[in-house]
């Protein structure tokens, strides 16, 4: 794969662009976690997107090792490191219930499931079949990561406001999908190319929604957002200052229910 990439300048260029843009996308939650550190609280942010993103990156690292694809290995190794830092910060400042849930989810996906897949594929599957199995699983979870913006798009339509959906993030997600789709097609690696079709579609849909609602009823008061809406959204898309303002307007729950609600694993 390394030789093919070097011998194909277009594929190498697409993969290099994919690395750069992916790195920028991975760093998108940095302002959010800076505020978490500053406030010493995760507020209503959920850890699920980061656990799934880490698992997806681990699968692509494994796939990159099997195919000897340096460009896939490089960005996904960096992604694993960054997502791990996010999760460590989350665990430090999350409520006890959220912390326990995150630890369970981490061990379920990134230790149990990932470890089992590596063990099974190394022991019982050989050659191209091993690459195919790992590729299909990696693609499936890449699609799961791309589906996450649906909650933000739903909120934009509900509130007729784009304040929770930054245009630059949508733009870079779309650009990222184009780069990796091109890379996969040029190398005839459809496990890399196919998931990014979904990424491109969702990215374009977000940008279209942005242009539809960017100037919608600017003079009217900002729409109210419930805790349920906020909890359904990846933290990277949230403006924490806006979130706190909205949370203050929501009546507090009884003491025994005031802790950040987390679904059972």
Q: What is the pLDDT of residues 167-211, one digit of tens each?
A: 888 888 899 999 999 999 999 999 999 999 988 998 898 889 889
Percent above pLDDT 70 for the chain = 78
CA atoms within 13 A on the CB side of 152: 26
Question: Is pLDDT larger for residue 79 or for residue 265?
Answer: 79
Q: Phi and psi for 167 in degrees, rounded to 5?
A: -65, -40
d(CA 194, CA 177) in angstroms, rounded, equals 10
pTM of the model: 0.77
Cβ contact 93:38 at 8 Å: no
CA 250, 254, 257, 259 dihedral sign is positive
Question: Is pLDDT larger for residue 254 or for residue 94?
Answer: 94
d(CA 213, CA 218) in angstroms, rounded, equals 10
Identify the helix (H) or strand (E) that includes residue 76.
Answer: helix 70-93
What pLDDT is attached to residue 199? 87
| Model confidence at 262: pLDDT above 50 | no
Percent above pLDDT 90 for the chain = 43
Region 7-34 average pLDDT: 90
What pLDDT is attached to residue 233? 52
Region 235-241 average pLDDT: 44
| Model confidence at 231: pLDDT above 70 | no
Q: How far apart are the first and last CA of the chain?
A: 38
pLDDT band for 226, please (50, 70, 90 cuts). Answer: low
Cβ contact 203:173 at 8 Å: yes
Where b means 16+ CB within 10 Å and e means fewer, 205-235 reads ebbebbeebeeeeeeeeeeebebebbbbbbb
């Amino acid at each position: 794969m390394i030789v093919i990439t070097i011998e194909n300048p277009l594929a190498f260029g697409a993969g290099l662009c994919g690395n750069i843009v992916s790195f920028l996308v991975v760093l998108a939650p940095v302002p959010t976690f800076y505020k978490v550190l500053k406030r010493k609280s995760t507020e209503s942010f959920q850890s699920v997107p980061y656990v799934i993103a880490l698992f997806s990156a681990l699968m692509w690292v494994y796939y990159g090792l099997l195919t000897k694809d340096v460009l896939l290995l490089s960005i996904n190794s960096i992604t694993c490191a960054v997502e791990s830092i996010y999760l460590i910060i989350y665990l430090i400042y999350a409520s006890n219930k959220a912390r326990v849930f995150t630890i369970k989810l981490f061990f379920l996906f990134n230790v149990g499931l990932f470890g089992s897949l590596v063990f099974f594929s190394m022991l019982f599957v050989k050659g191209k079949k091993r690459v195919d199995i790992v590729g299909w699983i990696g693609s499936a979870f890449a699609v799961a990561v791309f589906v996450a913006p649906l909650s933000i798009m739903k909120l934009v339509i509900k509130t007729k406001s784009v304040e929770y959906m930054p245009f630059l993030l949508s733009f870079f997600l779309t650009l990222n999908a184009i780069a990796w789709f091109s890379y996969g097609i040029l190398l005839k690696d459809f496990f890399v190319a196919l998931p990014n079709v979904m990424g491109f579609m969702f990215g374009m849909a977000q940008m279209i929604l942005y242009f539809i609602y960017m100037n919608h009823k600017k003079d009217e008061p900002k729409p109210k957002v419930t805790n349920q809406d906020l909890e359904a959204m990846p933290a990277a898309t949230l403006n924490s200052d806006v979130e706190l303002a909205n949370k203050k307007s929501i009546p507090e729950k009884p003491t025994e229910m005031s802790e950040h609600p987390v679904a059972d694993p």
